[in-house]
Amino acid sequence: MKTKLLIATCLATVVGLFAAGAASAAFVAIYRNAMETTTQRSEIRKLSGKSCTRGGGKTSLNVTVGKLTEECAYKTPVVGSDLEIAVTGRIVTPTTPAVAKKSFLGLVMRAGGGSKLELRVFPSQKKVQIARVTKEGIKYLAIKKNFAAIQGPEKANVLRLRVISASGEEAGTCKIGGYIGSELAVETSDPLCSELKGEATAVTAGAPNNGSGLTAAFEAIVVRTPVRF
């Protein structure tokens, strides 16, 4: 898909969903990519990362983090503020055990202008984080350790990140939920998320400070938008 998908969010929908919380919101798919062909994988393009190499498996986009690089992010064609993005990811060979131990798989929303909201899942550590990243640095909004649903390196983890904005008295605040499979791992509110002006959605892989040597495989990307019935 060469044309970006522009998502317009209905305020009435967002208000109702925010009141219900990120965990109970209803979403409908607006973009799917099975990563089964070269054409499908070509829809996912580089967003950020100093030294990043991409390749393709039979049903995956493979991303390798190079020297002096913390993480590599690749964006979908979908842009918007209030969305849910999901992907199946795994850390794969030739990643060494030492690199895998510190590495994360992730999802990104509201990326642009040097800022973003990010879900990070560490397969070896069984840890989940939600972070707001700006030019000033990284702020961890929620952390969950020893989350049993996380599978180790070489095994598949289904990651989901969703963000819903509020209006009225809570304008400028958003509800953020991070999932592993069907299980809610971390949930938080961010009163400063309206300051993030970017709208890109992406998958990412890396390690704090230096992710060099990490190879991650991503399959079956889905982006959803909130609805109200």
Mean pLDDT (the chain) is 89
Predicted confidence (pLDDT) at residue 11 exceeds the cutoff of 50: no
Confidence tier at 10 by pLDDT (50, 70, 90): very low
- pLDDT of 193 over the 60 cut: yes
Contact yes or no for 130/188 (Cβ under 8 A): yes
Higher pLDDT, 173 or 71: 71
* Residue count (the chain): 229
- In the predicted structure, residue 6 carries a pLDDT above the cut 70: no
Handedness of CA 163, 28, 87, 48 (dihedral sign): negative
Per-residue pLDDT tens digits for 21-51: 454 558 999 999 999 999 999 999 999 999 9
pLDDT digits (tens, 9 = 90+) for 64-97: 999 999 999 999 999 999 999 999 999 999 999 9
Stronger pLDDT, 49 or 1, i.e. the higher one: 49
Tell me the pLDDT band of 149, cut-offs 50, 70 and 90: very high
What pLDDT was estimated at residue 20? 44
Name the residue among 185, 196, 41, 21 with its Cα closest to residue 108: 196
Structure-token pair, residue 93: 């060979």
Q: What are phi and psi of 93, to 5 degrees?
A: -60, 140
pLDDT of 146 higher than 70: yes
pLDDT, mean of residues 187-205: 94
CA distance 33 to 139: 31
> pTM for this structure?
0.88
Of 194, 14, 26, 200, the closest CA to residue 113 belongs to 200
Q: How confident is the model at residue 57 (pLDDT cuts 50, 70, 90)?
A: confident
Looking at residue 8, its pLDDT comes to: 37
SS3 category, 99: helix
- Topology of domain 27-227 in CATH is Jelly Rolls (2.60.120)
What does 134-203 look like in DSSP terms, one character per residue?
A: ETTEEEEEEEE-S-TT---TTS-EEEEEEEEE--GGGTT-EEEEEEETTEEEEEEEETTGGG----EEEE
Report the pLDDT value the prediction gives residue 83, as an integer from 0 to 100. 96
Torsional sign, CA 140, 141, 146, 150: negative
CA distances from 212 to 21, 67, 121, 128 (A): 37, 5, 17, 21
Cβ–Cβ under 8 Å, residues 47 and 115: no
Question: Tokens standing for 7?
Answer: 């998502």
> Taking a C-beta distance cutoff of 8 angstroms, is the pair 166, 14 a contact?
yes
Query: What confidence score (pLDDT) does residue 19 get?
Result: 39
